[in-house]
Amino acid sequence: MDYLNELNEPQRQAVVNTEGPTMVIAGAGSGKTRVLTFRIAHLIHKGIDPFQILALTFTNKAAKEMKARIGKIVGESEAKNIWMGTFHSVFARILRSEADRIGYPRDFTIYDAADAKNLIKDIIREMNLDEKVYKPGLVYNRISSAKNNLISATSYASNTDLEADDRMSGKPLTGEIYQRYEQRCFRASAMDFDDLLFKTNVLLRDFPDVLHRYQQKFRYILVDEYQDTNYAQYLIVKKLAAMYENVCVVGDDAQSIYAFRGANIQNILNFKKDYPDFKIFKLEQNYRSTKTIVHAANSVIEKNRDQIQKDVWTDNEEGEIIRVLRAATDNEEGKQIAADIFDTKMNAQARNKEFAILYRTNAQSRSFEEALRKLNINYRIYGGLSFYQRKEIKDLLAYFRLTANPNDEEALKRVINYPKRGIGDTTIDALILAAAENNTGIWNVVEMPEMFQVRANAGSLNKVKEFATMIKSFGVQLNTKPGYELASHIATSSGILKELYDDKSPEGVSRYENIQELLNGIKEFSEASPADELRSLSDFLIEVALLTDADNEDPENKDHVTLMTVHSAKGLEFPYVYIVGMEENLFPSQLALNSREELEEERRLFYVAITRAEKRCTLSYANTRYRWGNLTHCEPSRFIDEVDSKYLEMPPAPKELNFDEEWDEPSFRKMKVPKKDSLFEKEPSKKAAVPATPSPSKRNLVKLDEKRPATSVPSSDSDSDLKVGQNVHHEKFGKGKVIQIEGIEPNRKATVFFPAVGQKQLLLRFAKLDILD
Partner DNA sequence: TGCCCGGGTGTTTTT
Partner DNA sequence: CACCCGGGCA
Q: Annotated catalytic sites, by residue?
A: 32-33, 224-225, 255, 612
Nearer to DNA, 179 or 632 (CB): 632
- Residue 423 binds to DNA (criterion: CB under 7 A): yes
Least distance CB 365 / DNA (angstroms) = 9
Give the C-alpha separation, 150 to 28, whole Å: 31
Total of chain residues touching DNA, rule CB under 7 A: 47
Nearest CA to 575 out of 379, 297, 355 is that of: 355
Least distance CB 125 / DNA (angstroms) = 8
- Residue 276 binds to DNA (criterion: CB under 7 A): no
Bond preceding residue 588 cis, omega within 30 of 0: yes
What lies within 8 Å, CB to CB, of 136 at 6+ separation is 117, 118, 120, 121, 124
Give the C-alpha separation, 347 to 361, whole Å: 30
Give the C-alpha separation, 756 to 752, whole Å: 12
Bond preceding residue 674 cis, omega within 30 of 0: no
Q: For DNA, which stretch binds (CB under 7 A), given 19-27, 68-76, 258-266, 471-479?
A: 258-266
In a 10 Å sphere around its CB, with 0-12 CB exposed, 13-18 middle and 19+ buried, how is residue 81 labelled? Answer: middle
Nearer to DNA, 15 or 257 (CB): 257
* Cα torsion 210, 213, 215, 217: sign: negative
Residue 532: helix, strand or coil by DSSP? coil
Determine which residue in the list 34, 567, 625, 670 makes contact with DNA, applying CB under 7 A. Answer: 567
Q: For DNA, which stretch binds (CB under 7 A), given 392-400, 418-426, 688-696, 742-750?
A: 418-426
Least distance CB 260 / DNA (angstroms) = 4
- Residue 261 binds to DNA (criterion: CB under 7 A): yes
Q: For DNA, which stretch binds (CB under 7 A), given 101-109, 239-247, 255-263, 267-275?
A: 255-263
Least distance CB 366 / DNA (angstroms) = 7
Q: For DNA, which stretch binds (CB under 7 A), given 308-316, 587-595, 696-704, 705-713?
A: 587-595
Give the C-alpha separation, 313 to 317, whole Å: 11
Nearer to DNA, 99 or 257 (CB): 257
Beta bridge partners of 585: 589
Determine which residue in the list 313, 626, 659, 753 makes contact with DNA, applying CB under 7 A. Answer: 626
Which residues from 51-70 bind DNA, rule CB under 7 A? 58-60
Residue 55 near residue 83 (C-beta atoms within 8 A) = yes
What element of type H or E holds 146? helix 136-148
- Residue 427 binds to DNA (criterion: CB under 7 A): yes
Give the C-alpha separation, 439 to 737, whole Å: 87
- Residue 632 binds to DNA (criterion: CB under 7 A): no
Nearer to DNA, 470 or 564 (CB): 564
Determine which residue in the list 64, 101, 135, 238 makes contact with DNA, applying CB under 7 A. Answer: 135
Determine which residue in the list 383, 495, 694, 696 makes contact with DNA, applying CB under 7 A. Answer: 383
Main-chain phi, psi angles of 563, to 5 degrees: -115, 120
- Residue 637 binds to DNA (criterion: CB under 7 A): no
Give the C-alpha separation, 619 to 742, whole Å: 38
Q: For DNA, which stretch binds (CB under 7 A), given 305-313, 342-350, 585-593, 676-684?
A: 585-593
Least distance CB 245 / DNA (angstroms) = 26
What element of type H or E holds 738? strand 734-742
Nearer to DNA, 381 or 764 (CB): 381
The CB density around residue 432, as the number of other CB atoms within 10 Å, is 18
- Residue 438 binds to DNA (criterion: CB under 7 A): no
Angle at the Cα of 116 from the Cα atoms of 138 and 489, rounded to 5 degrees: 155
Residue 461 near residue 449 (C-beta atoms within 8 A) = yes
Beta bridge partners of 690: 769
Q: What is the number of alpha carbons within 13 Å of residue 330 lying toward its C-beta?
A: 22
Least distance CB 629 / DNA (angstroms) = 3
Least distance CB 23 / DNA (angstroms) = 22
Q: For DNA, which stretch binds (CB under 7 A), given 204-212, 433-441, 565-573, 674-682?
A: 565-573
- Residue 628 binds to DNA (criterion: CB under 7 A): yes
Determine which residue in the list 152, 157, 329, 424 makes contact with DNA, applying CB under 7 A. Answer: 424
Nearer to DNA, 276 or 629 (CB): 629
What element of type H or E holds 741? strand 734-742
Determine which residue in the list 422, 652, 743, 758 makes contact with DNA, applying CB under 7 A. Answer: 422
Beta bridge partners of 589: 585, 586
Nearest CA to 398 out of 474, 454, 482 is that of: 474
Q: Where are the alpha helices (DSSP H) in 589-677?
A: 596-610, 638-642, 666-672
- Residue 713 binds to DNA (criterion: CB under 7 A): no
Residue 251: helix, strand or coil by DSSP? strand
- Residue 504 binds to DNA (criterion: CB under 7 A): no
- Residue 538 binds to DNA (criterion: CB under 7 A): no
Which residues from 308-367 bind DNA, rule CB under 7 A? 360-363
Least distance CB 317 / DNA (angstroms) = 32
Determine which residue in the list 5, 9, 132, 555 makes contact with DNA, applying CB under 7 A. Answer: 132
Determine which residue in the list 305, 420, 504, 707 makes contact with DNA, applying CB under 7 A. Answer: 420
DSSP 676: S
- Residue 36 binds to DNA (criterion: CB under 7 A): no
Least distance CB 72 / DNA (angstroms) = 25
R_g (Cα) of the chain, nearest Å: 30
Which residues from 459-488 bind DNA, rule CB under 7 A? 460
Main-chain phi, psi angles of 182, to 5 degrees: -60, -45
Residue length, the chain?
A: 773
- Residue 510 binds to DNA (criterion: CB under 7 A): no
Nearer to DNA, 132 or 273 (CB): 132
Residue 364 near residue 582 (C-beta atoms within 8 A) = no
- Residue 705 binds to DNA (criterion: CB under 7 A): no
Nearest CA to 548 out of 726, 742, 666, 385 is that of: 385
- Residue 589 binds to DNA (criterion: CB under 7 A): yes
The DSSP code sequence of 615-634 is EEEEEEEESEEEETTEEEE-
Q: For DNA, which stretch binds (CB under 7 A), given 25-33, 80-88, 347-355, 705-713?
A: 80-88
- Residue 595 binds to DNA (criterion: CB under 7 A): no
Which residues from 136-165 bind DNA, rule CB under 7 A? 137
Determine which residue in the list 104, 156, 181, 193 makes contact with DNA, applying CB under 7 A. Answer: 193
Max distance between CA atoms of the chain, in angstroms, equals 100
- Residues interacting with DNA, by CB under 7 A? 58-60, 86-89, 113, 121, 131-132, 135, 137, 193-194, 257-258, 260-261, 360-363, 383, 420, 422-427, 460, 546, 548, 550, 564-565, 567-568, 589, 591-592, 598, 626-629
